[in-house]
Amino acid sequence: MSVRCIAIGLMAALCACSWSRERYVVVDSDARTLGAAGFPGALFTFDRGSRAIEMLAADHRFVDPQCVLVDRDGSLLMVDFAATPEDPGHHGAVFRVDPSLGVVTQVYTSNLWSMPTNAALDPRRDVLYVVDRAGPFGAETVRGCVFALDLKTGASTVACSDPQFVAPSAALFDPDARLIVLDADAPGSKFAEQGILFDVDPTHGSARELLRLTQCVSPLGFVRERDGAFIVLDANADPLHRGGPLGAIFRADPVQGTTTVLASPPEFRDPVRGCITDDGQILFADANADPEGRGPDAAGKGQNITGPGALFYCDPVTGTVTLAATSPRFVNPVDVTRLP
C-alpha cells in the first residue's frame, strides 16, 4: 500500500473518530410529545457519527421553543417564544434543561418580554441577552428589544431598545465580546431588501449599524466565521430566482461591506438557524424541507410545498449543501447547537 493511501486512510479514520464524538441538540418548535396535546415542541439530539436522532427533552410547559444555548456548566438554556409557565400574564420563557436527564431544572420569565425568539450568553458574566421581536410588553411604540437576564437572580432589564430595530431575530457574541444582533426586518420597507447587523452596546443601550444586508428577505439566523465574516441564513430569499421563497445562505462581510450568495439549492424551504461543526461545516436546520418526501408538516404551519424539516451541511468554501439527517419525529426544526 502506498504512503498516500495510508495517509488518506488515517485521515478518514481521524474524521470518523472526531464525528463519533460530536453530538448536537436540535430544537423543534412544534414536535409532538407523549402525553401532550397539540404541538408543544421538544429538544432532540443528533449524533453526527451515527446520524441518529433521539428525543432529549419534552415538558408540558413548552409551547413554541425557538433556540438553545449551552451554559458554562453544560446545562442548556432554551428560549420559548410563547410559554407562560409561571404566570399567564407573562409572555415567553427561558428553560434550563439538564442534558443528561432531559428534564427542566429552572424556569425564567419576565413581565417585560413579549416575543422572545433568540439569545446570546455573555462570555464574561452570567447574563443572557434575550432578543425579543416586539419589545417591552405593552410598549406599542417600541419595535424589538434586547433584554438582559441575570441568570443568578432571574431579574430581567432592558439592555437595548434602539429605534433602528424592527424585528430582531438572532444574536451572538464575537471573539471581542461584542454583542452582534441580526434584525430580520430592518430597515422596515415592504419593497426593499431586509436585514441589518447591529453592534449593540448593552451598557449604554445603543446600537450601531454594522452591515446592511443585500438580497436578503427574512434573515433569521447567523454564525460568525473565523475571519470576521458572518454566514446568514434566510428563510425566504430567492436570490437565484428559482421561483417561490425557498430560502438561501449568504456570506456577509462587514469589512468589505458585501453580502454574497453562498447557497440556494432547490431542496431549501426554510433555512433558519445553525452552528459550525468541528471541521468547519455549517450544520443548520431547515424547518420545512422534505428531502425524503414525507409530505406537509403535521402542524400545518409550513409554506411553499413544505415538509417536516431536516438538517443539512453547507460547505462555507464551496457552498455545497448535503443532507445531514431527518426524522419522522420532526415537525418544524428551527435550531441546532453543538453539545459539549
The mean predicted confidence, pLDDT, of the chain is 90
pTM for the model: 0.91
Q: Is the pLDDT of residue 301 over 80?
A: no
Encode the chain in three state secondary structure.
CCHHHHHHHHHHHHHHHHHHCCEEEEEECCCCCCCCCCCCCEEEEEECCCCCEEEEECCCCCCCEEEEEECCCCCEEEEECCCCCCCCCCCCEEEEEECCCCEEEEEECCCCCCCEEEEEECCCCCEEEEEECCCCCCCCCCCCEEEEEECCCCCEEEEECCCCCCCEEEEEECCCCCEEEEECCCCCCCCCCCCEEEEEECCCCEEEEEEECCCCCCEEEEEECCCCCEEEEECCCCCCCCCCCCCEEEEEECCCCEEEEEECCCCCCCEEEEEECCCCCEEEEECCCCCCCCCCCCCCCCCCCCCCCEEEEECCCCCCEEEEECCCCCCCEEEEEECC
Chain segment 219-259, per-residue pLDDT in tens: 999 999 999 999 999 999 999 998 877 899 999 999 999 99
State residue 304's pLDDT score. Answer: 56
pLDDT of 141 reads 61
C-alpha 141/C-alpha 90 separation (Å) is 19
pLDDT confidence of residue 302: 61
* Least confident stretch, 13-27, 70-84, 298-312: 13-27
Burial of 207 (0-12, 13-18, 19+ CB in 10 A): buried
Residue 8 is predicted with a pLDDT of 40
**Band of pLDDT at residue 11, cut at 50, 70 and 90:** very low
Q: Residues 112-138: what's their mean pLDDT?
A: 91
Strand partners, 248: 234
Residue 19: pLDDT band by 50, 70, 90 thresholds?
Answer: low
The pLDDT tens digits of the residues spanning 42-81 come to 999 999 999 999 999 999 999 999 999 999 999 999 999 9
pLDDT digits (tens, 9 = 90+) for 80-124: 999 998 777 788 999 999 999 999 999 999 999 999 999 999 999
Q: What is the pLDDT of residue 5?
A: 43
Please check whether residue 256 is in contact with residue 274, taking contact to mean a CB–CB distance below 8 angstroms: no
Cα three-residue angle 169-25-332, rounded to 5 degrees: 60
pLDDT band at residue 13 using 50, 70 and 90 as cut-offs: very low
pLDDT, position 321: 98
Mean predicted confidence (pLDDT) in 303-318: 87
Q: Rounded to 5 degrees, what are φ and ψ at 15?
A: -60, -45
pLDDT at 269 over 70: yes
pLDDT tens, position by position, 147-197: 999 999 999 999 999 999 999 999 999 999 999 999 999 998 776 789 999
